[in-house]
Amino acid sequence: MHLSDFDYNLPQLFIAQTPIEPRDASRLMLLDKKTGTIEHRVFRDILHLLNPGDLLVLNDTRVIPARLHALKPTGGAVEILLLRQTSTTDWQALVGGRGINAGMKLSLVGSDIQVEVLENLAEAERLIRFSEPINPYLVELGEMPLPPYITAPLGDAERYQTVYSRDEGSAAAPTAGLHFTPDLLIALRNKGVGFAYCTLHIGLGTFKPVNVERVEDYHIHAERALLKPDDARLINDAKLAGGRVIAVGTTVARTLETAGILSAGGDPANPNANQDTCAWRPVIAFESNTTLFIYPGYTWRVVDAMITNFHLPKSSLLMMISSLVGREPLLNAYEVAKREGYRFFSFGDAMFIS
């Protein structure tokens, strides 16, 4: 497969710049993964599309104010995007600026905190060390790391958080979950829909552009994922009772499929090797980095349906969704979405694939 197979034209006007109010008033495209048929709803209709016994799995990660500003010794401006904490003072980060190399000392704007570049990683990624733990100062010094395609200011930082976010650590929001309101979640619970949670702190693996022409050659960055025993049990119970396991977003799908591969004794870095012939095996709890890259040809083990937004051309997320529903049906759905005036990307509309 070639990178160009996952390209499509998207004029700027389709990219949502601001979130819709209320959250569940966004549009919802229904896409049948077996037939490719499409229906158009609003997101709050998800209440009528899920059945008692279905299980929604949500990523409870919370976005941190991960964008920081610093100065080089020469006074030149540097932008730091925190990706993953590796110790009390050390982080992997994207560092924007000329000539930022190991050994350089930076001054964090608005404070006396110093930043030392410890190691050059791939491209603009660096391992950095703060002179003291930065976590207590992030609210004061940091900015919400909105994607670069969103240029409008965000009036309320909570609109880039899900209403169920609780575990701080992400550099981006799990945007499929932004459509849920507390009232909608309560109504789903009252209907008999179950809830389970996982945590995947979103970093470079989720939003970095694919940079190889042959898709099979791409290696996704590791992201930390966690599925607790109680939540694994809820997933297994739902499967055994005949309910659907519905991933709210690609990060949840990646976590659940990692759990399925590990349960079968497989390797998420090579998910199609020595595949288990069983239709389903119980998932297991785990906490580890995952490098699972899902693209067409992947055998899905856990996820039955997915709620997701509309993704960037040539992105690993578009490839993941293509593997669930098929590349041509998905790209056709995107063309329909453009004709119907759907809003794309983080603050855009949603799709329910079932």
- 277-320 confidence digits (pLDDT tens): 555 778 999 999 999 999 999 999 999 999 999 999 999 999 99
| DSSP alpha helix (H) spans, the chain | 46-49, 138-141, 182-191, 204-207, 229-240, 250-263, 316-325, 327-339
Edge-first strand order for the sheet with 194-200 is 38-42, 27-31, 350-353, 305-309, 245-248, 55-59, 194-200, 223-227, 286-290
Look at residue 264 in the predicted model and tell me its pLDDT.
84
- 161-218 confidence digits (pLDDT tens): 999 999 999 999 999 999 999 999 999 999 999 999 999 999 866 667 898 999 999 9
Look at residue 276 in the predicted model and tell me its pLDDT.
57
Look at residue 275 in the predicted model and tell me its pLDDT.
55
For the chain, give every domain's residue range.
Answer: 3-63+156-353, 67-141
- 30-61 confidence digits (pLDDT tens): 999 999 999 999 999 999 999 999 999 999 99
Query: Is 3-63+156-353 CATH 3.40.1780.10?
Result: yes
Tokens matching residue 345: 């990307």
**Phi-psi map region of 219: left, alpha, beta (phi>0 left; psi -120 to 50 alpha):** beta
Place of tokens 């453009």: 338
pLDDT at 272 over 80: no
Tell me which CATH code domain 67-141 carries. 2.40.10.240
pLDDT-based confidence at 270, cuts 50/70/90?
confident
pLDDT at 77 over 90: yes
CB 281 within 8 A of CB 264: yes
Helix (H/G/I), strand (E/B), else coil: 227 = strand
Look at residue 266 in the predicted model and tell me its pLDDT.
84
CA distances from 122 to 85, 168, 221, 231 (A): 17, 25, 10, 35
**Phi-psi map region of 241: left, alpha, beta (phi>0 left; psi -120 to 50 alpha):** alpha
Q: What is the CA radius of gyration of the chain?
A: 20
